[in-house]
Amino acid sequence: MRGESEVPSSDDGFTIPVAERVKRLPPYLFGKINKLKYQKRVAGVDVIDLGMGNPTDPPDPLIVEKMAEAVADPRNHRYSVANGIANLRKEVTSRYWKKYGVRLDPDSEVVACIGSKEGFSHLCLALMGPGDTAIVPSPSFPVHVYAVMLAAGNVIELDVREPDQFLKNIAYTCEHLYPKPRVVVVNFPHNPSATVIEQDFYVELVRLARKYSFLVISDFAYADICFDGYKAPSFLATPGASEVGVEFTTMSKGFSMAGWRIGFCSGNSEMVRALSTIKGYYDYGLFQPVQIAAIVAMRHCEAAVDSIAAEYQQRRDVFCSGLERLGWEIERPKAGMFVWAKIPEPWAQMGSIDFAMKLLDEGGVAVSPGRGFGEDGEGYLRMAIVENSQRLRQAVKQIGKCMKSEEIAAE
């Protein structure tokens, strides 16, 4: 009998044992929901998908026009450079200076990535190995855990929803763990919980990094999507930050360029160099027309980013108001693309996975169960506000019907 990690190649019983790193990966907790979502769509059901932070808005037309122009140029179809073309890296440094007052060297402190997820994963390979430990925020965005595991590292998950306590727990872990953690991952605005911080958080984090000699990786994916006047602080804007860490940014969210797969790692030159070295072995860089279009986006489309953020704020208000009318206790997020909602009683007793399955099966609304982000996520749902306001109102209506049917069944 074969194990789950072995794949039959024929009927004669020959098996292919997979690598140990794959065996370390836990079962994929979103699998059941994704399978049911696929089945419903094949059956013609109009599923309102709030399960993934996948923007439905198109990029600014200027970005698309520049992409088309660049695609038409035969010179842009050759291999590119793995770390990104020079003008793209210069544009990243210009944007950091304008938005955060951070000066970066485009040649040594910036590398372009095939999305921030790819960059984060390859950086873990560059920094970690067997016996190394990373502290990651919990509830945990899956790649923050699995990229460390695939790099043969160990993971310590610390609850991030009280940022001051999170810092204290980092210090406590460093004091009592040997060898000390090699990497600390932070992710603000946080996915999935939408927790936010102010700049003084990073001041203390840099102090701890120096004291305990760990490296910092800041995942700043939701930097551009902020509400109610809140401005997400950059880790790199903290004095001394570039001495201890790097920051990942992406064009997926604010510029609505998710499928284009373009992000950046900026900061400490040695960490950037290590990532560039790994990437040099793994890929030939981004398709050059994407890089050219990204230059135009950062140079000329900042107003479109503000417009996108305003649209998400409107969606947040529509969706949260609807859930509140259904009796949900909602803490409205100050940033990001997600509502992190505590499941109300008595439905919380079902568990987040079963309740999410119920909303999809009976209501045609796909959401992410909190349990999929670790034990600290149980009792919550992560719901992406990526659909337009009309679709979100419809989603609330269908969620309400599911909850009503449960009440009727209980009577």
368 shares a domain with 297: no
Asked if residue 313 has pLDDT above 50, the reply is yes
Residues 263, 244: Cα–Cα separation, whole Å: 20
Does residue 235 lie within any of the structural domains? yes
Asked if residue 6 has pLDDT above 70, the reply is no
Residues in the chain: 411
Residues 110, 273: Cα–Cα separation, whole Å: 9
Asked if residue 31 has pLDDT above 90, the reply is no
The pLDDT value given to residue 32: 78
* Residue 380: closest CA among 344, 335, 327, 405: 344
Of the chain, the end-to-end C-alpha distance in Å amounts to: 47
Residues 149, 135: Cα–Cα separation, whole Å: 12
Quote the mean pLDDT of the chain: 93
Residues 347, 399: Cα–Cα separation, whole Å: 12
346 shares a domain with 266: no
pTM, 2 dp: 0.93
* pLDDT (average), residues 368-389: 96
The band of 20, judged by pLDDT with boundaries at 50, 70 and 90, is confident
Q: How many domains does the chain have?
A: 2
The pLDDT value given to residue 64: 98
333 shares a domain with 188: no
Given the DSSP bridges, would you call strands 110-113 and 263-267 parallel, antiparallel or unpaired? antiparallel
217 shares a domain with 113: yes
121 shares a domain with 227: yes
Asked if residue 352 has pLDDT above 80, the reply is yes
Task: Please name every residue paired with 45 in a beta bridge, in sequence order, or none if there are none.
Answer: none
The pLDDT value given to residue 362: 94
The pLDDT value given to residue 11: 56
The pLDDT value given to residue 407: 54
Question: How does pLDDT run across 240-288, given as a tens digit for each residue?
Answer: 999 999 999 999 999 999 999 999 999 999 999 999 999 999 998 999 9
Question: How does pLDDT run across 203-239, given as a tens digit for each residue?
Answer: 999 999 999 999 999 999 999 999 999 999 999 999 9
Does residue 8 lie within any of the structural domains? no
Question: How does pLDDT run across 110-122, given as a tens digit for each residue?
Answer: 999 999 999 999 9
The band of 169, judged by pLDDT with boundaries at 50, 70 and 90, is very high
Domain end (from 270, 301, 332): 301
Domain containing residue 96:
61-301
Asked if residue 408 has pLDDT above 50, the reply is no
User: CATH number, domain at 43?
Assistant: 3.90.1150.10
Residue 201: which residues within 8 A CB-CB, separation 6 or more? 163, 164, 167, 188, 233
